[in-house]
Structure formats: structure tokens, C-alpha cells
Structure 1
């Protein structure tokens, strides 16, 4: 028997914006962590895949995919890795994101703030580009462990894009955390089912999450902007990254676009959904 779909009473637009304005003030003060999904950069219409479905379609233009893999980015990448080589997956991902994604006004605005942590959940380099004028920040990226022979889950890069020791992360004013990797600066990608099997085996005990990210999320809320939760993998990452932080988190959503699983996720995780169009939410952040 299917579980009933939870009902959410969304706040009226004026009330939602009032709540959101308070969240923006806390974000500026460093008490709220922005968790950016691909929907933020997608507003600018970049010439790269900006959601999992578009990425799956890109794979389908380069490789003949079996029916079971079509439309699913992770399964498509796994098929390519299994039938060709991991290097082929990396090359295709680098090709998919070869065109630089320009930072949006939100990226540039966030880059001016001394935020302790920014989470960016897509593969483009827009947030890194926005931070380029600063030198007091660094980046932590999730990495594939396929064939590298290393007992590591992530790598550390300074503002110049050079790989550095993890000890430097404590001194960074802002950490940009890219849990799935990124095209810049070193073409690290978590994308295939095999990549995520290892991560998901350990993520419940938090091993794949960097210690400095764990430290900086403590006591803070997350604000999800441009994110969808319509895939189990995306829900798992959002759930695990927001563990052991504040008791309440926030998500800007479009109520009419939410799937049943997304509604269940919002309720089960205690996420406060704010029915504000993403462009309007960004306006409020910029004005805050």
C-alpha cells in the first residue's frame, strides 16, 4: 500500500517573503549556509547540461545507451564506464562542461560575503569563478575512487586552483564545497552508479564528508536554492550534509512542480518550504 502524500500548507506569498528576508539576514551573518542547486545557474541559460536529465540526454548524443540507462545520468555514466573505460566518462563530462558557466548575480553576491561555507551541488565552475577575486578561500571537492588506489573521498584546492593539504582548510574564511566534484580546476567527477555505491555505503556514518565541512555546519541552517529532490541520490546528499547542524532548514520551491517523493522528503526532513519563485528569491538575497 502506498504511503499517503503529505499535505503542506504553504505560507502566503507576503508571509513567505517576510520569513525569507529574515533568513537572508541570517545568511549575511553567517548563520545560514547556502546550498546551491543547478537551478541557480540555469536561470542564465548556459550552454551546458544544468540538470541530471539534460546530462543524461548529453550522454545519449555521444554513446548508444540501453533503454534501462536512458534518461538517468548516473546509470548512463555507469554503462559507459562498464562498456568502455572510466577515462571515457571523465572525458565526456569534461566535454559536457567545457563551456565556462558565467557567474550569476547571486554567485557574485555570495562571493562578496565572508560566508563560512557554500555548498554547490552541480559540476560547473560558476561559483569558483565568482570567488576568483578573493584569496582567503578554498574548495573541497568530492572525488571518484575508481582506480586511483587512494583511501580518500575528497581533495582540497586553494583559490589559485592548486591542490593543497587538508590542514590549510581551517584557515580559509570561506569554503566552497562541491560534493559531486567539478570541471574546475581538476575535472573531478562523481557521476557513475559505482562512484556513489562507495559513497552511499559510508555516508550514513559521515565518512565521505570532510571534517571542516562538518565543523562549519554545526549550529547552522541550510538554505536550498535552485535544488530539486526528485531523485533518491539528491535527497540522500541533502539529508546527510544537513545532519548534525541546526534543527530547521529552508528550501525555495515551486509547489506545483513538486513530486510526491519531494513532498514526503520536505516533511520527513523538517525542511521549511518557501513558495517563492527562484528569480524573486534571488532578488531578495541581493537586496538583503
Structure 2
């Protein structure tokens, strides 16, 4: 099975960077134990498994990190869109996750593939103060480091996240934490990642996403986190102008770029776009 996994870098910054994902296309969904084993062998933060959904069309998908299954993964969905475009032609493909009906669109552009996912519905709400205090202590931050315009929040765009906004780019660059302690907190709270951001402007954000729940110290590009952040910004009345750009992975030396289009209806899905390329 491992030989059937394509390796794709998603949310590339031009012809560099991008978050690698494994993409398995098959005729029947493998056993869960096999998917866990393959995801661990591939070793990327996520591997997506996709098979035809049946008479209704589309694809049934599941996502696995090296340590666990996750409900939704944005960069693996972008990678899947790229592989579907290469194998089945440019177009839009319906996807059924464990919890939602979503879609991905892929179109070849020379050596790269442009892809856009439609997220599951979004939601957000205030984060309990005790949880905020615990998370700040985990990363070595204090309340004085927070951006008062964007209070800490619980946000979901297909997977659960804690959003923490910092008042300077330097504070974001200094992010450090203990992986085991982060794993304990994130798994207890059901977080896919913690989304730590700095707002360079109303429509441009820098982000880092610790992914300890999946056994990964940091994800260089996180489409699910971008969707959750976008829903949170819309819910809070942030002046996003209908779209935001997110720069991620810089502090890892893996530059990534995510673009998110945000519709006006509260709770509605958002569209997360980026480019992808096959990894030799």
C-alpha cells in the first residue's frame, strides 16, 4: 500500500516550501490499522485516504497523522485536489469526511496545481480563562503578549482549535513548548492544533500551528486552522474585507502561503486556496 501513496507539497510559496502530505487513492477504504501504519511510515503530518464514494459519486476521505485520525485536514485536502486533477482532470470533486460534506477544486498550472477547498461549516466562541492561562504558560507567554483586538477563542472549521493572537511578530518567532505537555493539553481539549497568529494588517496574518495532538511539533501550513481562524474573524467583526492571506512556515524554513475567501454568512464554509506540487 505504501507504494500507492503520492507525496505532495501543499500551500507552496511559489516553487518552494509547502507542507508535505501523503495522498492514497484506492478502490476501497483500507482497514483503520493499515491506514495508521501507512501514515506513520509516510511520516508526514497528515496522509489522506480517498476512495470512490459509490453510486452518489464523489470521494470518501479519511485523514491520519502519524499518531491519530483527525476529522479534517486542509493541506492534505489541497494535496488530494492536486492528485485528483492530475489523474482525473481539472475540476471540482465532492468529498465526504467522517463528519461533513466538503469539496476541493484542482487545476493544473504548469509544474504546479492550483487548488481550493471548501471547508466544513465554521464556528467560534470565547476561550475559558483557565484554558487560556494554561496555554500561555505552555508557550511561555503572558497576557501582556496578547493582541487585545483578537481575544483568545475556540474556533472550528472542520476541526477544533484554540486561537491565540500575539501583538508582535517577534513574539510569534519565539514560540517554544514541550511536546509532551502540548500533546496532553491538545488531546484533552480535542484540539487539532493551536493557531498562534500575528496580524500584520487587517488582511495579512503570520501564523504558527503546534500540532502536538498528532505527534508533530509544528505544522508549516494548516488549512483547517486557516478556516477556523477565518470563521473567528468573521464572527468577531474583524475588517477582513472578504479575504485574508496567511504566511506560515517561515520560522521553520518552509515558507507557505494560504489564501482564504470569507463569505458574509455567519457559520458558513470558507474557501482556502493554495498551490501544490508533487514531491519527487
Q: Between Structure 1 and Structure 2, which shows a larger proportion of helix residues?
A: 1
TM-score normalised according to structure 2 size: 0.27
Q: Between Structure 1 and Structure 2, which shows a larger proportion of strand residues?
A: 2
Higher Rg? 1
